[in-house]
Amino acid sequence: MSDSTVAQTGHPRGLYTLFFSEMWERFCYYGMRTLLTLYLVKSLMKGDSEASLMYGAYTALIYAAPVLGGRLADQYLGYRYAILLGAVFMAIGEFLILGGNEMFLLIGMGALIVGNGYFKANISTIVGKLYKDNDPRRDSGFTIFYIGINIGALLATTVVAYVGETYGFHYGFGLAGVGMLSGLLIFWLGRENYSAAPGLDIREAGLEMKYGMKMYQLITLASVLLIPICYVLILKNTFQIGEGEGAFTFPLMTVLLLLLFFYVAYSLVKAGIAEGQIWRDRMVALVIMMVINVIFWACFEQAGTSLTLFADRNVDRVIMGWEMPASMTQFFNPFFIVLFGSIFTWMWVRLDKMGKNPSIPMKFSLGILQLGLGFLVTLVGLQFVDDSTAMVPLLTLLFLYMLHTTGELFLSPIGLSMVTKLAPKNMAGTAMGGWFLSFAIANYAGGLIATLTGGHGSVAEVDANLSELEMKTAGLGQYIEVFSTLGMVLVGFALLIALCNKPLNKLMHGVR
């Protein structure tokens, strides 16, 4: 059956090859991410704030890297080679972590960052290129693809989380590496299924000779040199100039990310101006939606830091005599994605046929509203706290993650589809890289937000004479205060976006 025949009866065959490739890549990434904060705190003996900042810096760089990876794929590497290169880097990075100390962890994280930069943006770009312009199946196709992402995340947050916390962190990291090798194999063996997508092959510029090597080979070699740069950026979130009272702390990661964001925003708007007024307006709309995306994910990404530590210390995780590992509570999110994903896939198509499909800005508004309501669930959980243990019921996290997940489904797959619709074809990879840059800023901001919760560390610093129960009670109050404040701010922001719905739609010029 040809791809054209498949297109008339369902989705292109290539979608399912990419589905499984991305599923195993996400198994690798989320497997490592799920264990990271607890590994830093419990094995490497980092404090809560230091662990949160390292986590934030790592995940920020993970999402910043596709800006470079997308651009290099557009101009030199082509999408297929870029994805294969990324998969190899990620597998190597995961296995390097098995060295068991901070140096190997940071080198492995560097390799994972570089690999993800090549893999993540470009596989999403191929998904978009499987569909023609104005194909109504595009949103549905991206939602199916998004289900694949979350099946990988679900397997990671159950299997890898359980193995890592039960048998040892190194077993969990090794298992994640095996998952990445599986994704690499599927992508290569199924290459004929997505071969109709344009832009797969190495570009002519990538085959040109420079310094005795072809450009794509030179880029491959240079990519290795990015690993020590990532090493330093994760280890040193700030750069101090001088000593003593005259010292000045330079927020290195913050400035680098903001400069990169403004550069990408400028490049996109400039490219839009070159294409005409409609494309200019669409690029302005894309930049605005990127800012909204930052706010959503900075709060959502508390899952890997403050919410995991909250689960470890202040959530009763005992189920019929079995205690769920704290990292495993992260499985609620991908579980609900898989549970609700197909419903949302059907819902968008059905609403479109009825002419009642919400606009993209309204979907973003509704997504942020649900995110805020999820954080406010902690106020309800506080009413059922066990005073003898200072723990809230596990149902608190279940309902929190359920609302976060439905909010995510209103925003994340729609955002991926939106980028492929708004961007000019010659800027597809760069636009997608810019979209992932908004995730980078969000993850770094999320790490900063997580430091506000403090937990046991800050409470102990205030009064070392407190009993364990008193520290847990004080920590619980700190978590609830931060989470409920986030919830109220997000609800207000959702209302603001809803009020701006019409002008944002006008900028999009018919893109829905």
HEC states along 167-217?
HCHHHHHHHHHHHHHHHHHHHHHCCCCCCCCCCCCCCHHHHCEECCEEHHH
- Alpha carbons 388 and 405: distance in angstroms, whole number: 31
- Alpha carbons 143 and 478: distance in angstroms, whole number: 36
Report the candidate in 204, 254, 293, 219 with the shortest Cα–Cα distance to residue 68: 219
Close Cβ partners of 346 (under 8 Å, ≥ 6 residues apart) = none
Candidate from 80-94, 189-203, 396-410 with smallest mean pLDDT: 189-203
For residue 217, how many other CB atoms are within 10 A of its CB? 15
Six-digit token pair at 507? 């900028």
Report the candidate in 439, 418, 438 with the shortest Cα–Cα distance to residue 428: 418
Q: Which residue has the tokens 């004080």?
A: 474
How much is the pLDDT for 280?
86
Residue 132 reports pLDDT greater than 70 = yes
For residue 258, how many other CB atoms are within 10 A of its CB? 12
Close Cβ partners of 363 (under 8 Å, ≥ 6 residues apart) = 410, 411, 414
Calculated CA dihedral for residues 23, 26, 30, 31, nearest 10 degrees: 70
- Alpha carbons 279 and 12: distance in angstroms, whole number: 28
Six-digit token pair at 334? 């991908």
How much is the pLDDT for 49?
86
- Exposed (0-12), middle (13-18) or buried (19+): which is 437, by Cβ within 10 Å? buried
- Alpha carbons 285 and 358: distance in angstroms, whole number: 17
Contact 276, 419 (CB under 8 A): no
Q: For 214-230, what is the mean pLDDT?
A: 94
- Alpha carbons 20 and 12: distance in angstroms, whole number: 14
- Alpha carbons 67 and 410: distance in angstroms, whole number: 24
DSSP H helical ranges for 39-74: 48-72
- Alpha carbons 111 and 176: distance in angstroms, whole number: 14
15-236+256-508 fold: Growth Hormone; Chain: A; (1.20.1250)
Residue 505 reports pLDDT greater than 60 = yes
- Alpha carbons 414 and 421: distance in angstroms, whole number: 10
- Alpha carbons 504 and 10: distance in angstroms, whole number: 32
Q: For 35-49, what is the mean pLDDT?
A: 91
Largest CA distance in the chain: 72
Six-digit token pair at 281? 């307006």
Six-digit token pair at 28? 């690798």
Question: 248-250 and 322-323: which strand pairing?
Answer: unpaired
Candidate from 109-113, 157-161, 345-349 with smallest mean pLDDT: 345-349
pTM for the structure as a whole: 0.85
Calculated CA dihedral for residues 378, 486, 372, 158, nearest 10 degrees: -60
Report the candidate in 123, 122, 26, 146 with the shortest Cα–Cα distance to residue 67: 122
Dihedral sign, CA of 448, 449, 454, 457? negative
Strand partners, 213: 210
Question: 239-241 and 248-250: which strand pairing?
Answer: antiparallel
Mean pLDDT of the chain: 87
- Alpha carbons 77 and 56: distance in angstroms, whole number: 29
> Which tens digits make up the pLDDT trace of 72-82?
998 999 999 99
First CA to last CA across the chain, in angstroms?
31
> Which tens digits make up the pLDDT trace of 46-85?
888 888 889 999 999 988 888 788 889 989 999 999 999 9
Q: Could you give the C-alpha distances from 2 to 86, 125, 130, 195, 285, in angstroms and in order?
A: 29, 21, 13, 12, 37
> Which tens digits make up the pLDDT trace of 471-481?
888 889 999 99
> Which tens digits make up the pLDDT trace of 390-441?
999 999 999 999 999 999 999 987 887 888 788 777 777 678 778 878 888 9
DSSP H helical ranges for 452-500: 456-462, 468-499
Contact 401, 333 (CB under 8 A): yes
